Amino acid sequence: MPPGVPPFRTGICTSVTAEPTVDALRQFLDGRWGWARDEARQTFQQPLFAPVYDLDIDQHRERVLEQAKALADTPGPRLLFPKELGGDGEIGAAVTAFETQAMADLSLLVKGGVQWGLFGGAILHLGTQRHHERYIADVMSLRLPGCFAMTETGHGSDVQSIGTTATYDAETDEFVVNTPTDSAVKDYIGNAARDGRMAVVFAQLITGSPTQETQRHGVHALLVPIRESDGSPCPGVSIEDCGHKMGLNGVDNGRLAFHEVRVPRDALLDRYGTVAEDGTYTSPIENETRRFFTMLGTLVQGRVSVSGAALSASKVALAIAIRYALVRTQFHAPDSDDEVTILDYTQHQRRLLPALATTYALHFAQEELVAQLHEVFSNPDADELARRQLEMLAAGVKSTNTWHATSTIQTCREACGGAGYLSVNRLPQLKADTDVFTTFEGDNTVLMQLVAKTLLTNFRDEFGAPARPGRRCQHPRPRLAARHGHVPREARARRRHQTHA
């Protein structure tokens, strides 16, 4: 590190030698969980994990499933899960490895993210000990392929308004899961079309009995089997293939609908809400809205992972385009028979080098985000403010990284001319596979609104609420308060008088 520059709070290595070697630079950039990056690089150098572009959907899906099974035998999937459940308890390392994995086949990245990050993560963070002991080992080993059934045809970002219902039947001690309308069909669900056997289904929880009034308790998650052992849909479950997509065709996205599907009471992932045998509902968080956002906040690791994956795709695209620009020549130099490499042209530099510099900056922002994620999720006593700050940072960095990836990969494609349009050179597939990242794990526009809301909430908490009409401003710093809208009534009257004068 240069003299006088403090070490990064993320734990990035600061002991590299001053000698400007490739290894020293890599060590510095790999950061706190560099060992996880090294393990991922070694794994994805195997021929099985090489990116492909010329397979049909069925072949691609079969190949990605084979890759996922091989990945399940590596240490990678265990990183996400606690040691007491057979994992390694290194969430920061897990997200870092996932980010590195994005330099290989992005279909495998998404399928693995659904299996271990979303399906397994929901069981881990929303379930309780009995769910952990029964399912986590099979999730890690891929003996239980699963889905994360949150998004609905008519309810994307507005998860709080989803239409799927889970109604408790006290007579049978079961929940009845139902899709009441076409807009409540679970849509775009990874692993659903072919390989998934069980889904974490988000639904409106309803309780009641002949002696109790029906009550709605908001969105909760339940484990619902969707396929029999022979691969056929379970009774009452309708499964539809989403078909060919712009990219990520190695992932079997599908639609799920439930027609009075019954699951036992213990299928409810009940860390934040429990239903007793008689239908009585209890929760450690009384406020329904706060409970909902607390539940969703535990799943923020998916958003952080997508953010890192988009950044890795940008790095791959830039590496391809810049290396190509260093060997591709065009037009003769003045007074010379030699052609000029295209990276020597100022215009070409202005296309690629700002994107490269931005990618370096975002790399360190991502490192900070992953470090905060690790700190919050490794500390069971993390306060609400720390979690809120993490959610805001994740929303902002994810939006920035994914928009940057879309723009950068397009720039790199153009900078490579016709070569950039050839599938063998990876840029077309990178472009197609990452385009959905701007809406995956949260639409970027909605996420930036979340960032704005959180900043305004923090601003309000810092400076206090405005004085009520008719009362003198009580702000401890009145000049600062006036600058931000906390203007005493007398001052407002003087301003009006001066204006009229």
Catalytic residues: 441
Say how far apart CA 26 and CA 100 lie, in whole Å. 13
Residue type, 311: L
Residue type, 380: P
Q: Phi-psi region for residue 444, left (φ > 0), alpha (ψ -120 to 50) or beta?
A: alpha
How far out from the chain centre does Cα 431 lie? Answer: 19
Q: How far apart are the first and last CA of the chain?
A: 61
Helix, strand, or coil here: 470? coil
Say how far apart CA 96 and CA 368 lie, in whole Å. 12
Q: Which of 305, 454, 300 is nearest to 377 (CA)?
A: 300
Q: What is the 3-state secondary structure (H, E, C) of 90-127?
A: CHHHHHHHHHHHCCCCHHHHHHHHHHHHHHHHHHHHHC
* Phi, psi angles (nearest 5°) of residue 224: -125, 115
Say how far apart CA 152 and CA 78 lie, in whole Å. 30
CB neighbourhood size of 321 (10 A): 28
Q: Which of 84, 119, 40 is nearest to 312 (CA)?
A: 40
- What single-letter DSSP state applies at residue 479? H
Say how far apart CA 227 and CA 194 lie, in whole Å. 9
Say how far apart CA 286 and CA 75 lie, in whole Å. 39
What b/e readout covers 265-303, taking b as 16+ CB neighbours within 10 angstroms? bbbbbbbbbebeeebebebeeeeeeebbbbbbbbbbbbb
Four-point Cα dihedral 435, 40, 296, 246, nearest 10? 20
Q: Phi-psi region for residue 441, left (φ > 0), alpha (ψ -120 to 50) or beta?
A: left
**Burial of residue 141 (number of CB atoms within 10 Å: 0-12, 13-18, 19+):** middle
Residue type, 117: G
Say how far apart CA 486 and CA 409 lie, in whole Å. 46
